[in-house]
Structure 1
Amino acid sequence: MEFIDTHAHLDAFQTTGELESAIKRAKDANVTRIITCSARKCDWQNFSKIAREHKGCVFWQMGIHPTEIEDGDEEFLESAKDFLKSDMPPVSIGEIGLDFYKFEGSREEFEKMKSRQERLFKAQLEIAKNAGLPVCVHARSAVEEAIKIIDESGFDWGKVVFHCFSGTASQLEMLNSRGGRASFTGIITYKNAEQMRESMLAQGLSKIMFETDCPYLAPVPMRGKPNEPSYIPFIAQKSAELFGISIEEIAEISTKNAREFFGI
C-alpha cells in the first residue's frame, strides 16, 4: 500500500530544520511520493534541488502563487525554460491561479490586483501548454473566473487540477464536465465540511487525489498540529469510509490517478 501527497509546501520544514525527518516520517507512513509546490520564484531553485537530492520521492511544481506576485515576476517567467530543460524539471506548473479572498483595498486597487493576477495566470498557463505539463490551480473566491480564463486559453482540461478545492458542488460539476478535477485535503475530516465531502463523493473515485497542503489543514485527529505528508493516510481513511471501500483500495486508486496525472 502506498500514497502520494500531491501538494505540499516543503519549505516550511526547511525553516524548522525538519525536512529530512518529515520525509522519513512520510516514507514510514507509506507516503512514497511527495509533490512540493512553488509559491514564489525563489522556490524554483530550492525545490529543484530538494527533488534532486530525494530523486524518486520528491517532485516539484514550478509556479508563482497569485498572492505572492512581485514586481518583475512577468519578466522572471522567461527563466522558466531553463528549469524545464534542466536535469530535474518540474512535473507541473503550480500553484498558479487567482485569489480574490477578503481583499480590503479600494475598487481601483482591486481591479489593478485582479488584472495583475490574471496576466500571470494566463502567462503560466501558456508555459504549461507549451511544455505539455499539467497545472495545479489555486482559486480562492475566484473559481468561475479561473474556469473562464482556462476556457479562453484553450488549455487541455484533462491536465487541470484545482487543489484544496473550496468551491460549490455546481462549480465542481463545471470542472468535471470539462475534464478537470479537484484534489482534497484534511478538510474532509472536519465536522463542518459536509459540502466538501459531498463534492468529493460527487466527483467520484476516477479522479480522486489527496494532498496535505502542509503545513496547513492538518486532518483529524492531528488537527491543531502542523500538517505534514505523513498524515495523508488519515485523509485516505476518511475518504475510504465515505466511499464504502477499504483503505487499500483507495490507496491503489488515488496513487494510480496521481501517477498518471503528474507522470511520476
Structure 2
Amino acid sequence: MLFDTHVHLNVSQFDEDREAVLERAKEAGVEYMVIVGFDHDTIPKALEIAEQYDYIYAAVGWHPVDAIDMTGKELAWIEELAAHPKVVAIGEMGLDYHWDKSPKDIQKDVFRKQIRLARKVNLPVIIHNREATEDIVEILQEEKAEEVGGIMHCYNDSVDYVDACLSMNFHISLGGPVTFKNATLPKDVAKYVPLDRLLIETDCPFLAPHPNRGKRNEPAYVKLVAEKIAELRETSVEEISKITTENAKKFFGIKN
C-alpha cells in the first residue's frame, strides 16, 4: 500500500498514456494519490481526473513562478473550488527564487493570500519551496499556518529547518532526490523526521528517482522512494509504505 501525495498527471506529458500510467501505479501498489493543480490549465484537469477515480484526490492552488498572473479572480476561483468534495488541500503555493518570472514581493503577497484562504476554508496547504526556506518559514509563522497545517512538498533543505516546520503542524514529504547518489540533504532528513510526520511523493513527471533519473517520472516510482527511505532508516519498505500511507490518509482526511 502506497500513497503518492504529489503528482501532476494533469500535465501534457501524460496525455498520450495516462491510463497506462495509472495501471502501472496500481501494479506497484499505489492505492491513493493527490493530483496538484497550479494554474489555469492544470487546476480543472486535476479535478476532472479526480472525479473519474475513487482513489485520486486533488489540490488546487497557484504556483509561485506564476504569481504575477494571479488576480483576485483566480483567488476567488480557488476558494470556490475548495468546496469540491475531492479537493483535500490548497496548493501548491510558496516561493520560488530560482526563476525570475514573478518578483519576490509579488510571490510573497500571493503566498500570504493563499494561506489566509486556506485558513478560511479550513484546508491544509502544500508548499513549494525553491531557494527560499527562511522566507517561507517566516511567512508561514506570521500567517498562522499552523491552524491548518501543511506539507513541505519535496523537501530538499537542511534538517535545521525541520523542527520549525514540525512545530507548525507540518509534514515533511520526500521524493526522488532522496534516491540521488549525490543528494545528502534529503537523506539526512529521511533519517531525522519522526515517522508520524513523514510522507512520500513523486512530483511526477519531474524528479524521477534513481535508476530512472532524467526520464519522465510517474506514480509507480514512489515505491523506489519508499525503498530508499526504508534502507536509510534501517527498517522494512512495508513499514515505510504502511506508515506514510496512514499519515497521508489522516492528513488529508481520507476515510476509505
Whether TM exceeds 0.5 here: the answer is: yes
Instruction: Look up the match of 1:34.
Output: 33
Equivalents in 1 of 2:146, 2:98: separation in Å? Answer: 27
Instruction: State the TM-score, normalized to the length of structure 2.
Output: 0.93
Secondary structure in 1 matching 2:156:
coil
Larger Rg: 1
The yes-or-no answer on 1:156 pairing with 2:146 is: yes
Instruction: Look up the match of 1:77.
Output: 75
Amino acid at match of 1:47: A
Runs of 4+ in 1 over 4 A off after TM superposition: none
Amino acid at match of 2:78: A
Equivalents in 1 of 2:83, 2:186: separation in Å? Answer: 38
Please report how far the alpha carbon of residue 199 of structure 1 lies from its aligned counterpart in structure 2 after TM superposition. 1.4
Question: Unpaired segments of 5 or more residues in structure 1?
Answer: 106-111
Of residues 57, 60, 68, the one that matches 1:59 is 57
Figure out how many residues of one structure are paired with residues of the other and give that number. Answer: 254
Map 1:83-232 → 2, pairs under 5 A: 83-86=81-84, 88-101=85-98, 103=100, 113-156=103-146, 159-232=149-222
RMSD (Å), alpha carbons: 1.8
Please report how far the alpha carbon of residue 157 of structure 1 lies from its aligned counterpart in structure 2 after TM superposition. 5.9
Q: Is contact 1:100–1:141 with CA below 8 Å preserved after alignment?
A: yes
Please report how far the alpha carbon of residue 158 of structure 1 lies from its aligned counterpart in structure 2 after TM superposition. 6.2
Please report how far the alpha carbon of residue 8 of structure 1 lies from its aligned counterpart in structure 2 after TM superposition. 0.7
Amino acid at match of 1:249: E
Please report how far the alpha carbon of residue 44 of structure 1 lies from its aligned counterpart in structure 2 after TM superposition. 2.1
Please report how far the alpha carbon of residue 3 of structure 1 lies from its aligned counterpart in structure 2 after TM superposition. 0.2
Please report how far the alpha carbon of residue 89 of structure 1 lies from its aligned counterpart in structure 2 after TM superposition. 4.0
Secondary structure in 2 matching 1:221:
coil
Instruction: Look up the match of 1:263.
Output: 253
Equivalents in 2 of 1:188, 1:178: separation in Å? Answer: 23
Say if 1:72 and 1:243 are closer, same or farther in 2 by CA, change over 3 A. closer
Q: Is contact 1:74–1:120 with CA below 8 Å preserved after alignment?
A: no
Instruction: State the TM-score, normalized to the length of structure 1.
Output: 0.90
Deviations 1:67-117 (A, max 9, x none): 02343533321122321233x4411001001111254x9xxxxxx711111
